[in-house]
Structures are given as structure tokens and as C-alpha cells.
Structure 1
Amino acid sequence: MSATQHADSGHDPRSLAPGAQPAAIAAALLPADRDRFLASYERELRRARQSLDLTALDATLEQWRGVAAMQSRPEEYRRDLRRAAELITGEPSPEDEPLEVTRNKAGA
């Protein structure tokens, strides 16, 4: 996906640079991962409020920022998942295989 396509879809690749805002991360994630991200973000935010320590919250945001950055390039993300699934299973994953099937094979 080109930068123009990102702009057309509302995703600016620069919005996923290190230090990305939670809203930018959530917007770039697949719907199934968006819910998981929001749950982990809210959990770590509660912990940070109690402990007054942002370390775990920052680590959670950075982990999910990396996932969002990968998912913001859908063709590359699918290709990488197929490669991982093939390495794990020893069998190729077809290009037309549903994404969730490939993700499960890849352990993602």
C-alpha cells in the first residue's frame, strides 16, 4: 500500500512512528486486534494510575505500535504471516487462505 493509499484510507504512515498516540495505533490495527489492544491499554493505564509508573504502559504501547505498523501494510503483513506459517507447519499457506487461518498457523 502506497503512502497515497494510506492517505486515502485515513492512515498516515507517520502516525505510527515511535511514540504514536493510542488512537493512531488502534486505527491501524485489524478489528480483532483493536479490541485486544484497547483491553491491554486500559489495563496498563489503570495500573499506571495506581503505581504512578508508566514503564509497563509505554512498553504495551510500543509493542502494539509495532503490530499496527506491520498491519498498516496489508500485503506485506499477509506475506510475512504466510512465511511464518510455512516455517512453523512445514507446508505452504495459499495466498487465498483466510487471514485468521494463516494467523493461527503462524501463532500470531
Structure 2
Amino acid sequence: MTASLPGEREDEHSLAQGASPAAIHAALLPADREVFLAAYGAALDRARSMLHLAPVHELLEEWRRRAILQSDPAAFRRSVRRAAEFFSGEPVPDDEPFEVTRARAGM
């Protein structure tokens, strides 16, 4: 049994449901998993130097939102396509690689 600080329970944390690193990693598209792991490592390093978990929590929340968007790959592809068309003001060619479309959308 581990001791808790006053007002703190072991099962309490400030993360939203689905915001564990493992849950986020599993929900991301394969192309984003390594990017997430690198960003997570950097956030852990910042948290260690600051002695505060804020950088980790902020990163996890940002990537949790991305994982939610990517949880339906077909819907995510449609959203990326619409965003690319909106930002570029031009239709996306049917044969354009997804990563190119995604870069144009800034996603």
C-alpha cells in the first residue's frame, strides 16, 4: 500500500478518459505513432526538469483529441480532404497521396 497526499486518492488523476499514453498510441494512425512517442518523451523530459506534470498532461490532451479524430479513419480522411480544399481553395485530386493532402490541410 502506498501513501497518498491529503485529498488525493490513488485512482484520481486529471486526465480525461482515453488519455493514457497507451490508449492514445493504440488509437492513432500508424504514421502518427512514432511522432507521438517522440513528443511524449520530450514532454516527460520537460516534466522531469520542471518537477511538474503539466507538460505531460497538456501533450496527452492534445494527442487524445487527435486520436479521437483518427478513431474513424474514413471520417478522418474526409475531414482532412475538406480542410485541404478549404485552406487551398482548390479541389484535392482523387489520386493525391493522403500524406500530401494532410500536409496541405496542416493536419
Query: Does TM, normalized by the shorter one, top 0.5?
Result: yes
Are the counterparts in 2 of residues 19 and 62 from structure 1 also a CA contact under 8 Å?
Answer: no
What does residue 72 of structure 2 align with?
Answer: 73
Structure with bigger helix share is 1
Please report how far the alpha carbon of residue 33 of structure 1 lies from its aligned counterpart in structure 2 after TM superposition.
Answer: 1.1
Q: Distance between the aligned counterparts of 1:67 and 1:80, measured in 2?
A: 12
What does residue 13 of structure 2 align with?
Answer: none
Q: Secondary structure at the match of 1:58?
A: helix
Q: Secondary structure at the match of 2:99?
A: helix
Output the aligned Cα RMSD: 1.6
Are the counterparts in 2 of residues 41 and 57 from structure 1 also a CA contact under 8 Å?
Answer: yes
Are the counterparts in 1 of residues 27 and 68 from structure 2 also a CA contact under 8 Å?
Answer: yes
What is the letter of the counterpart of residue 97 of structure 1?
E
Q: Secondary structure at the match of 2:92?
A: coil
5+ long unaligned stretches in structure 2: 1-15
Count of aligned pairs = 92
Q: What are the within-5 Å matches in structure 2 for residues 69-108 of structure 1?
A: 69-95=68-94, 97-108=96-107
Q: Distance between the aligned counterparts of 2:96 and 2:74, measured in 1?
A: 13
Give the 3 Å change call, closer, same or farther, for CA 58–23 of structure 1 in structure 2. Answer: same
What does residue 9 of structure 1 align with?
Answer: none
Q: What are the within-5 Å matches in structure 2 for residues 23-102 of structure 1?
A: 23-95=22-94, 97-102=96-101
Please report how far the alpha carbon of residue 29 of structure 1 lies from its aligned counterpart in structure 2 after TM superposition.
Answer: 1.0
What is the letter of the counterpart of residue 63 of structure 1?
E
Larger radius of gyration: 2
Q: Secondary structure at the match of 1:97?
A: coil
What is the letter of the counterpart of residue 88 of structure 2?
T
